[in-house]
Amino acid sequence: MDNEVISALPTTGAPSAPVLRNFLIKRVAYIFTSSEDPSTFDALDSDTGALPQALGFNGSIFWLDPNDTTSDHDGVAVIVTADGYRYKTAGDYDFKSVLSFTVTDPPANPALGDKYGVPAGATGDWSSHQDDLAVWTPNGWKFQIPTIGQWVLDESVGGFISYTSSGWVYGPGARSFDAASIPFSAALGWGAKFEVENQTTTAPPTATKGLLYVVGASATGAWLGKDKQIAICEVSGTWTFYAPQNGWSVYDKSQSSSFTWNGTAWLSTAGTWIDRKVVSTASGSTTAPTGNTSYTYSNSTPPTTSVRRLIDAVTLSFSAKKTGATLRLHYSADVSYAQAGGAGSGNLVIAIFRDSGTNAVAWQLIPLIDSMITASVAGPYLTHLDHWFTLTAPDASSHSYTVALISRAAPAVSVDASSLTRRDFEIEEAA
């Protein structure tokens, strides 16, 4: 068979217009734009009897089937021209998306052009087409065998799925994201556990990618107004903030403990005391009772450094890990009380002083022993002290705590503590 273009365009002599026209119609695919309707196209050249062998439409090639006189036009698998010629795809359908990859039973009433990915366990017309792509046409279900690397949008989940040597796999595959590159806002149902540096920083540090904090109280700068929120540097140089939701938890690296958000505060999940200091001595130095001002016990008015008192010289220094932490102090000792010159006024009280403050930060009435003291018996009266105090840390700085035993006192008359032995002074901070 001679090449028709040779006959149409001989190297010598005149070209043949009919032969050239016939060649161009038969041998060149006729392409339609997306706005053109191939069903209005007259395929046959009435002068030469030539027919295009292929039509291009919507990214697919449709080939002439001269033996088909019955298939209906759908523009997906079959094009029927205005003069009744049928062109069909050769299985290369446009599968940019499918409705689902999980439907196993072919739908009973599919719409023309509906497309599916055929999963394992499919039935009916799909039973032998696992992993194939199926499209509904006027001629029933047509299938395309996927190629490795082919991508399809699964409309049922709104995500892409790709074909690999192991079958269809959702997502972009391995090594698609840099380490530490997925922001928390992209997470759904996971990631609500954070590993933060601390909960006390208030001035934003240099925003280095990967740093996390619980914003401290009264934050400044870029953190202003973000107290208690999670600050994450997801992009170098900037901070992203997330308001905590009930149940979110953080691991505070500075405290080596976990905390859970209850709607208003970060609460310890450990249920333990995370730090403790203790001073224990069999006996030790105390100051001589000083002052003659009496103190009558009050729930609201603390004793001061002007009342008559004995000071235990054991001082305990402690730095809380965060502002507002709960501190628990414990003091125990064996002590003697003795009076001079009759019963004095006021009450016997144990008090905690912080640093050089003039007011006690915690105090308790010493029970029983106070009522035992009478003007007729000079003592000594022996008792054992064992008291617990709960305080709120004012900040994360170091503070010194001392114990004072308040005397029952009046001018020239006192009942003083003395002979402290078996002393124990400790402080704990709640997680």
Instruction: Identify whether 175 is part of a domain.
Output: no
Residues 225, 319 share a domain: no
Residues 299, 421 share a domain: yes
Predicted pLDDT at 302: 96
Residues 131, 279 share a domain: no
Question: What tokens does 68 get?
Answer: 């088909």
Other beta carbons within 10 angstroms of residue 328's beta carbon come to 15
Instruction: Identify whether 178 is part of a domain.
Output: no
Residues 155, 240 share a domain: no
- Calpha distance 191→120 (Å, rounded): 32
Mean pLDDT for back-to-back runs of 10 residues, the chain (431 residues): 75 84 89 93 92 89 91 86 90 81 94 91 96 86 90 92 91 70 71 86 93 94 96 91 90 86 82 69 72 87 92 87 87 84 73 96 83 62 90 92 86 76 88 62
**Quick one: which of 401, 387, 394, 313 has its CA closest to 354?**
401
CATH number of the domain that 333 lies in? Answer: 2.60.120.1340
| C-beta separation of 342 from 375 below 8 A | yes
Residues 282, 264 share a domain: no
For the purposes of burial, counting CB atoms within 10 Å of the CB of 430, is it exposed (0-12), middle (13-18) or buried (19 or more)? buried
- Calpha distance 420→385 (Å, rounded): 10
Residues 105, 14 share a domain: no
- Calpha distance 34→297 (Å, rounded): 93
Residues 82, 108 share a domain: no
- Calpha distance 231→340 (Å, rounded): 63
Question: What tokens does 66 get?
Answer: 């001269």
Instruction: Identify whether 176 is part of a domain.
Output: no
Predicted pLDDT at 347: 82
**Per-residue 3-state assignment (H helix, E strand, C coil) for the chain:** CCCHHHHHCCCCCCCCHHHHHHHHHHHCCEECCCCCCHHHCCCCCCCCCCCCCEEEECCEEEEECCCCCCCCCCCCCEEECCCCCEEEECCCCCCCEECCCCCCCCCCCCCCCCEEECCCCCCHHHCCCCCCEEEEECCEEEEECCCCCCEEEECCCCEEEEEECCEEEECCCCCCCCCCCCCHHHCCCCCCEEEECCCCCCCCCCCCCCCEEECCCCCCHHHCCCCCCEEEEEECCEEEEECCCCCCEEEECCCCEEEEECCCCEEECCCCEEEEEEEEEEECCECCCECCECCCCCCCCCCECCECEEEEEEEEEEECCCCCCEEEEEEEEEEEEEEECCCCCCCCEEEEEECCCCECCEEEECCCHHHHCCCCCCCCEEEEEEEEEEEECCCCCEEEEEEEEECEEECCEEEEEEEEEEEEEEEEEEC
Predicted pLDDT at 294: 86
Residues 389, 317 share a domain: yes
Q: Is the peptide bond before 380 cis (omega within 30 degrees of 0)?
A: yes
Instruction: Identify whether 179 is part of a domain.
Output: no
The upper half-sphere exposure of residue 352, i.e. CA atoms within 13 Å in the direction of its Cβ, equals 24
> What residue type is assigned to position 357 of the chain?
G
Structural domain containing residue 154:
97-170
Predicted pLDDT at 203: 96
- β-partners of residue 281 are 423
Site of tokens 């001589």: 288
Instruction: Identify whether 308 is part of a domain.
Output: yes
Residues 264, 279 share a domain: no
Residues 415, 290 share a domain: yes
Q: What angle do CA 237, 261, 361 make, to 5 degrees?
A: 100
Site of tokens 């928390």: 184
Q: Among the three residues 89, 111, 141, which one is the final residue of a domain in this structure? A: 89
